[in-house]
Amino acid sequence: MNRLIGKVPLISFFISLAISLLISPALMSQKTSGIIEYEVRMDVHRRIPAEREEMKAMIPQFRSDNYQLFFNETESLYKIIIDEEAEATQQGGGRRMMFRMPGMETHLEKTSRIRTVQQEFMGKKYLIEDTLNIAPWKIGSEQMEISGYLCQMAYYTDSSNAENIQEITAWFALQLPPFNGPESYASLPGTILALDINNGERVFIARKIEFKTLQKQDIKKPDKGEKISREKFTAMMREQMEKMRNQGGGGFRRFN
């Protein structure tokens, strides 16, 4: 992460913060609605179990995908950008295995913190609705400039899943609206423009920010799929992964 984004001095962050507090309400209102495009890079090899080490020779180590976050003052929608042409080129370029990311959309109602996730699993769509919890963020002392915005570091350890404890580091811009970020990482007092999970296992970086008025269909909450609780969906995934391991398919750690 540090190699991709340059650091800035601590004093610069506080100067920028002081200036942002003086920005007129009219100017701030222009930045409450728009689209952020994230590049997400995943180290696939780190998800391969030790007993399936031979798979590394068949799978490229890194995979990059692009996602969009549509947001306004009251809600947000995060979803992948499907590049059919690029995937066809990758899949036709050799014998190495390629994996398509499962389709997923995450919608958040900011006031109620109601989160609705539409997720594909084994060719079927599911709807998962729950409440977004406020993560136990700690504010760090480092800053980075990302896409023209001075960002503050925040971090915490996600131990909600004992089988997959994750170290989360985020960089958020106080100049941009709160409760915005990729996936379900949206509980900071500014917009998250970069995110690092497990020291490079997955890295999210905002590459493009466009402020504009969104249409209703741009940020529509997903409503197609079988409704299921988060607990039941997680149990179903674990059961399927166990079946794959028993059949010699290996299996990967969860994406979310």
Q: Are strands 226-227 and 124-131 parallel, antiparallel or unpaired?
A: parallel
Confidence check: pLDDT of 80 > 90: yes
pTM: 0.79
What pLDDT is recorded for position 46?
Answer: 80
Q: Between 177 and 122, where is the model more confident?
A: 177
Number of domains in the chain: 1
In a domain, 68, yes or no: yes
CA dist 152 and 165 (Å) reads 23
What pLDDT is recorded for position 126?
Answer: 96
Q: And the tokens for 110? A: 């900011």
In a domain, 18, yes or no: yes
pLDDT band at residue 9, thresholds of 50, 70 and 90?
A: very low
What pLDDT is recorded for position 30?
Answer: 58
pLDDT band at residue 125, thresholds of 50, 70 and 90?
A: very high
Q: And the tokens for 204? A: 């999210």
25: left (phi over 0), alpha (psi -120 to 50) or beta: alpha
In a domain, 238, yes or no: no
What pLDDT is recorded for position 84?
Answer: 60
Domain that holds residue 46: 10-53+64-82+102-227
- In this structure, what CATH number is given to the domain that contains residue 140? 2.50.20
